[in-house]
Amino acid sequence: MATPNEADVTLGRLKKFLVTGNNSSECYGVHIIRDVVNWYQGFERSQHKGQGMQLPKTTDPIEMLLDSSVIPKLVEEGKADTIIDTLRSYNQLSCVDKEALVLCLAVASKQSDQKKLVTDAHSAVRELCTNTHLFFLFIHFSKMISKKSGHSGWGRGLRRAVSEWYLSWEPQRLALEVTRHSSAHGWTHRDVIRLAHLKLKDMPLGTQVVLHYVFLGLEKTKDKYTGQDNTSELLELLQALDRHPHSSTPQAGEPTWDNDQVISKADKVHDQFGGLSLHDVPSQSLKSQEVWSHVLDKLEAKCVVASVNRLARGNFLNPSNELGHTLQAKLVDRLSQEDVAASATTPAQVLMTLHAYEHPTRFIAVGAVKGQDKRAKGGATKVPRAPGKVSSRRTTKTNPKVVEALHALLAASAKNIEKTTHRLGIFVDVRATMGTSHVWTGNPVGKGEVTGHEGAAATVLSLASGGTNPAATTLAFSGTTFSELKLTEGITLPQLIDKFKETVIGEVNIERALKWAHEHQAETVVVLTHRLEQSVITAATEGLQRHNETNKTQTRNHRKFKTKCLLFPLIRICNKLVLCGLCSRHLSVPHTNNLLVVLGFQQRTPTVIRAFHERYF
């Protein structure tokens, strides 16, 4: 049995994992869950083909996932009763990493010596797995963990959880879900229903209709259920949502859609459910300007930003495309609407979209063809290089109105972020390297080229709520001191970057930043710089510990003196420090609850920093 302090530390590691998706302090920015899932799918494919792919020599990836989730450690320490409650409470937070949450739920459901924990985990599947992708990810994790221990994984508890997941949906919403997301992570609804041994005759009529459609298709479902009570409306909905309508002249046996079918489906989904997702529109139909013109106004707010690059890939946003001017005007208008800025769209997400639009990257195969050409011409029989991939910049023209609308959306989405009440000091490195070098994004393919200044500016706007949060103070390392950067409400990213460039540069000094935080009673210090060195992290850790010890001593003295002078100001402890090296990676970071080291920049970087500041981990 662990001591209370040890249990608190382990629970803190669980909370950190739920927010960051990675418990390894040494390589933040690499999403361990996605990496292991991709590895496992490749491993299964190689086993199926008889190639016999071997496990990595360093460690078993599945074991690494189990250790990262810290669920087995909490069970060992006697804290099993807190696990599901923690998962449920963190599921309500916008900062939570849903994939990490589902992994922890799957690991908890496999603790066979904890019957109550397993039962509670299976009961929480519907509440935490709110869509097909998360549900199938839970199934996938369950299979991975069970296969490691030599079991199939399809026990009574998992079968009951699957049954409850399908039964918990209203028939109309279930019909939308199974057609919107028919498969994910190598699983289909048909696979899951078959392996769970669901009996349709024991289910409500509406659920029967939908699951019968999943197995046997629309025509056979209509033949069986037409004329039965209260099924006509559901069958009509399935007719509109059916993913496999065939035109009168199908090519090569492939299902094809005509524009009228797509538009009819979009209208049906929008009218009945109040919103439309890009998943509701067949991919081949997104090459049609007519379809885009009809669905753009109906798209859910969270899907509008994702539509920008889909439109760009279809060459609809090229200014020289005269036929697309109306569509471009519609997109600009949609990006400017308040519901888009007020949705879950973050400034970092808009920034990544903006750069992917302005700097699209394409990859071409090289090597083999060149060698073959030489042999064909009678040249030297030189062994060609293995085919590889190199980036190739495609000359594109961007629409300045779309770029302007994205910048305005970035500023508006930052302004809509909830203001923090805890005092926060943000210190920015404004040296020239921040404006000329590109940050490490963890997976830069297709994400464009984000400079250090842009990554820092997007983070500042997120933490300062677009200049509307009085609790956040933004300063630049200038000369031998600081220069405060006044953020006006609605300030845009280019305007903030101009402020960076106009400021007299200075060296990054973390000790001085901690001293400022103590004098101004800031509870968290965030340092945004170009590159972190190992010596800087070590010195910052020691400096933070020294400042916290000094603050604790002063707080104890304040409490003794409080009875003599009630007007004595309360001294707050600055016990949180964030070091963000936008171009750094692979550094050794000490494990401490007061220090967060962020290596690189990605869409969730400002969200993770804010969650750390708000004491979510």
d(CA 592, CA 297): 48
pTM reported for the whole predicted model: 0.86
What residues have CB less than 8 Å from 269, skipping those under 6 apart?
176, 240, 241, 275, 276, 280
> Tens digit of pLDDT for each residue in 294-336?
999 999 998 999 999 899 988 899 888 777 789 999 999 999 9
pLDDT at residue number 441: 77
Which residues, other chains included, contact 251 with Cβ-Cβ below 8 Å and sequence gap of 6+?
A: none
pLDDT attached to residue 27: 41
- Enumerate residues 6+ apart whose C-beta is below 8 A from 41: 185, 186
Residues in the chain predicted with pLDDT less than 50, given as ranges, are: 1, 25-29, 55-58, 246-254, 362-395, 444, 446, 558-559, 561, 563-572
CATH, domain 417-613, list 3.50.50.100, 1.10.3720.10, 3.40.50.620, 3.40.50.410: 3.40.50.410
Q: Residue 57's pLDDT is what?
A: 41
Q: Return the H-helix or E-strand segment holding 365.
A: strand 361-366
**CB–CB of 510/540 below 8 Å?**
yes
* Residue 250 in tokens: 């199908």
Q: Which of 237, 225, 221 is nearest to 271 (CA)?
A: 237
Per-residue model confidence (pLDDT) at position 31: 66
Amino acid 449: pLDDT: 77
pLDDT score at 555: 54
What per-residue confidence (pLDDT) applies to 276? 93
Residue-range domain boundaries for the chain: 417-613
Give the model's pLDDT for residue 293: 93
Report how far residue 402's alpha carbon sits from residue 413's, in angstroms, rounded to the nearest whole number.
16
In whole angstroms, give the CA distance from residue 543 to residue 354. 38
